[in-house]
């Protein structure tokens, strides 16, 4: 079953582009990643799903119901975390969370304390006094306290330290196991790869790729540099999948695409001093998809 169905969704801001012809589905119990550089239209898409903005054309359905027409009804089962969290500054954290819970007509107090414990959040502070990261935590608790069936997160990890990110992803995975569907946007490929089953890539308002994460990994480039003890034959690494090969003295660098085991075996057969395996950054990946699309 599809929890989210987006059909040819288009949104213009006056003359400016928002998103163009965006279509994709998110299945039940899936963790779906939505990645793209800043300004590509991630937030626009998510905000349309939440009926914060109205589409210029096209439509989207959540739980099989139109997200604009049945907005208030379907939002009962949605938890949302905006990319930047702003709350009523003068309120205490606990008051804000209680206020938030009051919209859902069920008792969430137990859940609030559980989540606050897990995220190590002080409930008695004023929101005004919190750091950005702590505000984000309030946002996370606020988004999860009513045990939503669908969790929508807009760049959830920005501002959280790595330890908290880890904790947060564990929380999400727990929710996912309990049956929640998760859609989250990000511009960090690593976290999407770690978390998601499938991913949609958006660039300049259009979806340019929709893939299973496993497929994305197969297509993934690695940036590899090897420092050897002795000067190697220039063509030692000249195998299938290697490009941009540069050999200078005993430093070799290249881009590799394909099964990572092949190249690791190749490296293990020679005497090396050091090796660097790096993720190419998102721009490089996009470049790659862009070339493929053209």
Partner 1 sequence: MFLHELKAYRKSTITWTLTLVGLIILFLSMFPAISQEAEAFKKLMEGFPEEIRLALGLSVENIGSILGFYSYVFLYISLFGAIQAMILGVSILSKEVREKTADFLLTKPVTRTQIVTSKLLAAFTSLLITNVFYLGAATMMASLVETKEYSTKVLLLLSLTLFFLQLFFLAMGILISLAVPKIKSVLSISLGTVFAFFIIGALVSTTGDEALRYLTPFKYFDFAYIMQNSSYESSFMMVAIAFIVIAITASYLIYSKRDIHAV
* Residue numbers at the binding site for partner 1 (CB under 8 A): 43, 47, 50-54, 71-73, 75-76, 78, 80, 82-84, 86-89, 99-100, 102-104, 142
Residue 102 C-beta: closest distance to partner 1, Å = 8
CA distances from 142 to 200, 213, 270 (A): 26, 29, 54
Q: Which of residues 132 and 276 has its CB atom nearest to partner 1 in the complex?
A: 132
Residue 52 C-beta: closest distance to partner 1, Å = 4
Residue 225 C-beta: closest distance to partner 1, Å = 40
Q: Which of residues 135 and 203 has its CB atom nearest to partner 1 in the complex?
A: 135
Q: Which of residues 145 and 171 has its CB atom nearest to partner 1 in the complex?
A: 145
Residue 161 C-beta: closest distance to partner 1, Å = 23
d(CA 174, CA 101): 21
Q: Give the angle 38-218-45 at the CA atoms, nearest 5°.
A: 30
Query: Which residue, 289, 26, 67, 10, is CA-closest to 182?
Result: 26
d(CA 188, CA 206): 18
Two tokens at 212? 């299973």
Two tokens at 119? 């995220």
Q: Which of residues 145 and 189 has its CB atom nearest to partner 1 in the complex?
A: 145
Q: Which of residues 185 and 209 has its CB atom nearest to partner 1 in the complex?
A: 185
Two tokens at 159? 């501002």
Residue 76 C-beta: closest distance to partner 1, Å = 4
* Residues 167 and 118 sit within 8 Å (Cβ to Cβ): yes
């Amino acid at each position: 079953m599809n929890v989210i169905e987006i059909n040819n969704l288009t949104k213009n801001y006056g003359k400016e582009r928002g998103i163009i012809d965006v279509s994709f589905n998110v299945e039940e119990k899936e963790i779906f990643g939505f990645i793209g550089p800043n300004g590509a239209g991630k937030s626009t898409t998510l905000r349309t799903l939440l009926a914060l903005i109205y589409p210029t054309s096209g439509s989207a359905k959540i739980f099989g119901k139109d997200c604009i027409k049945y907005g208030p009804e379907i939002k009962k089962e949605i938890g949302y975390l905006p990319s930047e969290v702003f709350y009523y500054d003068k309120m205490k954290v606990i008051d804000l969370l209680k206020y938030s819970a009051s919209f859902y007509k069920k008792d969430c107090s137990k859940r609030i304390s559980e989540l606050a414990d897990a995220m190590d959040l002080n409930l008695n502070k004023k929101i005004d006094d919190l750091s950005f990261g702590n505000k984000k935590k309030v946002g996370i608790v606020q988004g999860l306290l009513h045990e939503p069936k669908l969790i929508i997160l807009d760049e959830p990890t920005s501002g959280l330290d790595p330890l908290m990110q880890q904790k947060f992803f564990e929380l999400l995975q727990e929710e996912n196991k309990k049956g929640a569907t998760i859609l989250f946007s990000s511009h960090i490929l690593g976290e999407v790869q770690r978390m998601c089953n499938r991913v949609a890539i958006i660039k300049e308002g259009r979806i340019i790729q929709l893939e299973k994460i496993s497929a994305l990994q197969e297509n993934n480039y690695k940036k590899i540099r090897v420092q050897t003890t002795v000067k190697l034959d220039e063509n030692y690494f000249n195998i299938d999948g290697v490009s941009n090969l540069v050999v200078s003295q005993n430093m070799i660098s290249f881009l590799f695409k394909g099964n990572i085991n092949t190249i690791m075996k190749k490296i293990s057969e020679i005497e090396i001093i050091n090796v660097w395996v790096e993720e190419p950054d998102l721009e490089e990946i996009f470049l790659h998809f862009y070339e493929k699309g053209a």
